[in-house]
Structure 1
Amino acid sequence: MKYPILTQCPVCNHPLHAIKLACGHCRTTIENHFELSKLALLSPEQLHFVITFLLNRGNIKEVEKELGISYPTVRGKLNDIITALGYDTRKKPEIDEKKVISMLERGEITADEAVKMLKQD
């Protein structure tokens, strides 16, 4: 019987690390400190949601229908998964390039400050 890989220690809840890989065919083993995929960090429920989302090609309406959940719930689950994968879900403010250029022309900001403002992602 195959078991899903554990990513958290069941005793102290700290991250586990893969240190040994083995071939089931020729019995070759490789030992090292291996990095797990970020997807391995998702719970089974989150992974099911990701698969459903991908199979529906990101169509939120179809995901709503298939899982029987609302649009806000789909968005909430997506945000939870994005966070679980280690990314920031906060919406980044849009930069008004014309406003930055106007501020620069009026001498309200320096060229360096304008460049920094325009480079914000």
Structure 2
Amino acid sequence: MKLDLKDDLRRSIEEDIKKSFNLKGHKQNSKKYPVISECPVCHHDLEVVQLVCNHCSTEIKGQFTLSKFNYLDTEKLYFIEVFVKNRGNIKAIEKEMGYSYPTIKKMLDDVVVGLGYQLDGKEEKEEKEVKVDETPDTSRVEILEKIDKGEITPEEAAELLAKLK
């Protein structure tokens, strides 16, 4: 089951925001919302500028930073939750999410990049290199199998197939 929650979450948040504010911008109810990091209108980063104590109503205004995790989309946050819950056990993650090892590895790489880190260059190059037999028929079959397993993208497969001709 693949998750495509980002658009659904964005729409839901936009609707909740519209419902909770009247035309003058005054809050109508006290329902709490999750912190969002992206503007639902223009999709640029949002900035936290006010904190309020629910107990004594103290207000602190300024420019506050969000965690790196606040900038990840819902699918990546869900993956992190499953990853931590399963203590990084790839087999358990595969079973829970219903994805293959290469897909889980790619999702982990996407989270690493999403947090602002770079992947090890050697690792990326090794993943991109696809070894195939010299026989064109066998190579085509191997390339198609690698697409099916999620080891390479269709674009990478097209490049490899073009090299065989």
TM-score (norm 1): 0.70
Q: For residues 102 and 111 of structure 2, what CA distance do their matches in structure 1 show?
A: 14
Per the alignment, residue 39 of structure 1 pairs with: 69
**Aligned Cα root-mean-square deviation (Å):** 1.5
The offset of 1:57, in angstroms, is: 0.8
Instruction: Calculate percent identity across the aligned residue pairs.
Output: 47
How many residue pairs end up in the alignment? 93
Q: Deviations over 1:42-86 (max 9, x none)?
A: 112211110110111111111111111110110111111111111
Q: Secondary structure at the match of 2:87?
A: coil
The offset of 1:2, in angstroms, is: 2.4
Q: For residues 52 and 3 of structure 1, what CA distance do their matches in structure 2 show?
A: 23
Per the alignment, residue 84 of structure 2 pairs with: 54
Q: Secondary structure at the match of 1:19?
A: strand
1:6-85 correspondence runs (5 A): 6-85=36-115
Match of 2:116 among 69, 74, 86: 86
Q: For residues 51 and 3 of structure 1, what CA distance do their matches in structure 2 show?
A: 20
Q: For residues 2 and 44 of structure 1, what CA distance do their matches in structure 2 show?
A: 18
Gaps of 5+ in 2: 1-30, 124-165
In the TM superposition, structure 1's runs of 4+ consecutive aligned residues that sit over 6 Å from their partners are none
Q: For residues 27 and 61 of structure 1, what CA distance do their matches in structure 2 show?
A: 48
Gaps of 5+ in 1: 94-121
TM-score (norm 2): 0.53
The offset of 1:92, in angstroms, is: 4.8
Q: For residues 91 and 60 of structure 1, what CA distance do their matches in structure 2 show?
A: 22
Q: Deviations over 1:4-53 (max 9, x none)?
A: 21211222221111010111111111111101000111112211110110
Q: For residues 58 and 69 of structure 1, what CA distance do their matches in structure 2 show?
A: 14
The answer as to 2:60 corresponding to 1:3 is no
One-letter amino acid matched to 2:57: R
The offset of 1:91, in angstroms, is: 3.0
